[in-house]
Amino acid sequence: MAAVLLYFAFRGVNWREFLATVRQARPEYLALAACMGSASYFMRGLRWRVLLSAEKLIPRVTVFWATMTGYLGNSFLPARAGEVVRSVLVGRSAGLSKSFALATALTERMLDVVALVLIGAAAILALPGRPEWLLSAVRALAAVGLVGLLAVLVATRLEKLLKRILLWLPLPAPWRTRLVGMLEQFLVGMRAIQQPGRALSFIVFSAVIWITDALATMVVARALGLTLTLPQSFLLLVALGLASAAPSTPGYVGIYQFVAVTLLPPFGFSRSEALAYIIVAQALTYLIVTAWGLLGLWRMGAGAMRA
């Protein structure tokens, strides 16, 4: 699939214009965008910590290292395996159930989809001359987001039914008991967002994260001599975020390129400029995630050995 998307993304690109756009990148703007990206990742760790606090208050730096190790895993492993990696690491480091940690990580992801749909709808309404296909896409994605939100809210109220189903399965008794225990921990993680104080903190962190990311998106464009407005930046982030929400290739190679050359030309970008922009932005993201992720992997590993 990645190869097919890359083919369509690269088709019709003027490589001379592509190279000219990349060569004019201004390092001071890229450095600023890297700092903003690092701050966004740190706030993502704090947001996850809000959900984890339903079980135990964990040091901020521990959650940050686990978060960055998870993003490192998503960048180099398929099927969003980084979500499992960060959950295992934070569970081992803080003495939490790994099922609970994974449940909070998945809950965070599902709520992020809902937030992206709402942001996308607002961004589209703020854009002049918005194409009809964008409105249709947001309506379809809104349905997906609502399904995810309902899954978070409803699953916790069906605990008895879900336990009965697990106990009914034709499996050895120890297996059924273990599955029920995992379900209980998983539902505790999903209930974390239902406490009003935690929900408010989660919403505030989400708003700050996405505003920071949108501003960083504008800064990367400026580094290449291109212009993105705030609504356009939000819409690009929404498209990239939703395209990467499902399990995909490591680092979302192919997906990001295809989204960029599809979405940015209506905003005045040529296909070559759109491709240059997304490759530079993705390379910068890889640099940030790899640097912090490897450091986090070392710190979490060293912490485990000391324990």
Please report, for the chain, the start and end positions of each structural domain, with discontinuous segments joined by +: 2-306
Q: Which amino acid is at 93?
A: S
Query: What confidence tier does 166 reach under pLDDT thresholds 50, 70, 90?
Result: confident
Neighbours of 121 (CB within 10 A): 18
Q: Which amino acid is at 272?
A: S
Neighbours of 118 (CB within 10 A): 15
Q: Which residues contact 302 (CB under 8 A, 6 or more apart)?
A: none
User: Cα–Cα distance between 228 and 251 in angstroms, integer?
Assistant: 23
Tokens found for residue 249: 């290739």
Report whether pLDDT(143) > 50. yes
pLDDT at 66: 95
User: Cα–Cα distance between 209 and 45 in angstroms, integer?
Assistant: 11
Tokens found for residue 271: 């296909």
Query: What confidence tier does 154 reach under pLDDT thresholds 50, 70, 90?
Result: confident
User: Cα–Cα distance between 27 and 220 in angstroms, integer?
Assistant: 10
Query: What confidence tier does 213 reach under pLDDT thresholds 50, 70, 90?
Result: very high
